[in-house]
Amino acid sequence: MSVLKPVFPLHQRLRKRTLAWEAALARAVGNHPFVAGIAGTAVAVAMAGLTFVSLYAGRADALTHAHETSQSLVAIIGSDLERNIEIYNLSLRAMVDGAQRPLTWQLSPGLRQAVLFDRATDAGYLGGAYILGTDGKVKAEQSGEINPLIGLGDRDYFLVHQRGASVGLFISHPFRSRLRDHKLSIGLTRRIDAPAGQFAGVALLAIRIEYFQHLLDKINTGPSGSVFISLDDGTLLARKPLTSNEIGTSIVRSPVFAYIAGHSSAGSFVTVSAIDGVTRMYTYARVPGTPLLAVVAPAIDDILASWRKRSAIAAVLTFALAMVVIGVSWLLAFAVRDKILAEGELLRLAATDPLTGLANRRTLDQRLDEAWLHSRRNGEPLSALFIDIDYFKRFNDTHGHAAGDEVIAAVADCVASTVRRSIDVVARYGGEEFAVILPGTPAAGAARLAEKIRRTVESLRFTHAPGTQEAVTVSIGSASCVPSNGGTALELLAAADEQLYAAKAAGRNQVMSFVRPENETTHGASS
């Protein structure tokens, strides 16, 4: 137990501090009831703002993720193209090496075919492997079937090698094959040189265009997305979604291709498609060592579809919650306001006399103590008046209680209208008696004010029957002192009461004054 003893005082102090803080908070809210509504509104707005900032950040995250995904897809497409073209290029090199050896053409057709064409030329989507002579006619073919009537000397791949010895690997534009029932293909070719370096023909691998389309079929860019492969001059090789007669056409005039052609080998941008008006994020990259370009373009609406759905739900919930917080805050504000008004009204009713509207006996006692302390602290005089309606009981018995209440209210109005300072206190002491506290007022000033009250009341006339009027008078006792010289507030009030009885004994309708002997010389004044 001895260990716990020091804890309890600390706990009690903390509890007192907490209660004091709570009381201060309650007073602050009570003094400013609408602060609760404004604060609640501010909290709701801040909460909604943070939610919308978070939602906007989620939008940016969705776009960033789509960009990264598009980059990965472009890299996959480019890697597949680069790998397969490299494989085909090795086969072409082998074909060129074999075709440039004179001994190859002295071999039997079957052996020559085995020397010129390796197993890579049997790969899927490969339309055929050929050795073309200087006249464009097929000299050797992978399958061994040679049609001497078909010439390919007008093809772009043949002409480019015929004109230059340094072309290297060439990827042609799409063409309809004359050797394979007009199937759409592209050609991968290399030049064959004679021993002296002159043009001796072309090694050709025909790649079916379905290879590129099959590659794009694996890519998912969403319902409204797009992906395509083209040559760097804008010739379209494959596209998803594919529309009829697009392959082999040029998209060089497209704003999208124009942007890509004018920028770096890889990048990303957002624009509206001139074909279908859909806003897309275009991510592109050129395949190293080739004239091929891969582009992945998911639609912005597809990218943000999930985010918009989540954001709509979050926005609705945030708005609803914000409205609840704001509503509750303002309901609380109005409730606090109404409570304060009600409490103020209760305090007013508790502090005032219901008939006259003057301060009641309780308020008089409180204000008298305050005035006494203030006067004692500042060394100022303090005066008190006791007022009584003359012959009120007889008047009340003669004319009834209603008329008596009317007289009390009228006298109260006279006293309140005569005592004008805000620091003065006018109270109904009880029945037909009134009391006035006059801070900072010496005996002479109190006597003058009392006389003014007496004359004002005396001027009142009450009519109780046709042709009859009756005057009402009051007797007033006045007492003054300087609280710093000693005594109590009750003694001052008692002195004023004694002067009231002295005024009544002297014949009523007059003022009697008293000053405590230790302050001033005792004297009386009557009217």
Q: Return the CATH architecture of domain 101-208.
A: 2-Layer Sandwich (3.30)
Q: Confidence class of residue 179 from pLDDT cuts 50, 70 and 90?
A: confident
Strand locations in 232-320, DSSP E? 236-240, 266-272, 279-286, 292-297
pLDDT digits (tens, 9 = 90+) for 365-378: 999 999 999 999 99
| Residues 116-128, mean pLDDT to the nearest whole number | 73
Q: Which residue has the higher pLDDT, 462 or 308?
A: 308
Q: Confidence class of residue 396 from pLDDT cuts 50, 70 and 90?
A: confident
Q: Domain boundaries in the chain?
A: 101-208, 352-515
CB 120 within 8 A of CB 88: yes
Stated pTM of the model: 0.61
The confidence score (pLDDT) of residue 520 equals 45
The three-point CA angle 340-342-343 to 5° equals 65
The three-point CA angle 339-345-346 to 5° equals 90
54: left (phi > 0), else alpha (psi -120 to 50), else beta? alpha
**Identical fold between 101-208 and 352-515:** no
| Residues 446-465, mean pLDDT to the nearest whole number | 86
Cβ–Cβ contacts within 10 Å for residue 146, how many? 16
Mean pLDDT over each residue of the chain, to the nearest integer:
85
| Bridge partners for 382 per DSSP | 439, 481
Is the model's pLDDT at 115 over the cut of 70? yes
By percentage, how much of the chain surpasses pLDDT 90? 48
d(CA 433, CA 42): 55
431: left (phi > 0), else alpha (psi -120 to 50), else beta? left
The confidence score (pLDDT) of residue 14 equals 59
d(CA 456, CA 448): 12
CB 259 within 8 A of CB 271: yes
Tell me the backbone φ, ψ of residue 420, rounded to 5 degrees. -100, -20
Q: Confidence class of residue 465 from pLDDT cuts 50, 70 and 90?
A: low
Q: Which of 211-225, 344-358, 389-403 bottoms out in mean pLDDT, i.e. has the lowest?
A: 344-358
pLDDT digits (tens, 9 = 90+) for 8-34: 455 555 555 665 665 555 555 556 667
Is the model's pLDDT at 508 over the cut of 50? yes
Tell me the backbone φ, ψ of residue 161, rounded to 5 degrees. -80, -30
Residues in Cβ contact with 340 at an 8 Å cutoff, skipping those fewer than 6 apart: 30, 33
Q: Which of 106-110, 124-128, 235-239, 346-350 bottoms out in mean pLDDT, i.e. has the lowest?
A: 346-350
pLDDT digits (tens, 9 = 90+) for 68-99: 999 999 999 999 999 999 989 999 999 999 99
Which CATH code fits 352-515?
3.30.70.270
Question: Per the residue annotation, which of 68, 246, 345, 432 is the catalytic one?
Answer: 432
By percentage, how much of the chain surpasses pLDDT 70? 87
pLDDT digits (tens, 9 = 90+) for 294-339: 999 999 999 999 999 999 999 899 889 989 888 888 888 788 777 7
Please indicate whether residue 498 is annotated as part of the active site: no
| Edge-to-edge strand ranges of the sheet holding 425-430 | 425-430, 433-439, 382-389, 474-481, 511-515
| Residues 331-349, mean pLDDT to the nearest whole number | 75
Q: Where are the alpha helices (DSSP H) in 352-391?
A: 361-378
Question: In the structure encoding, which two tokens stand for residue 38, read together?
Answer: 């404004």
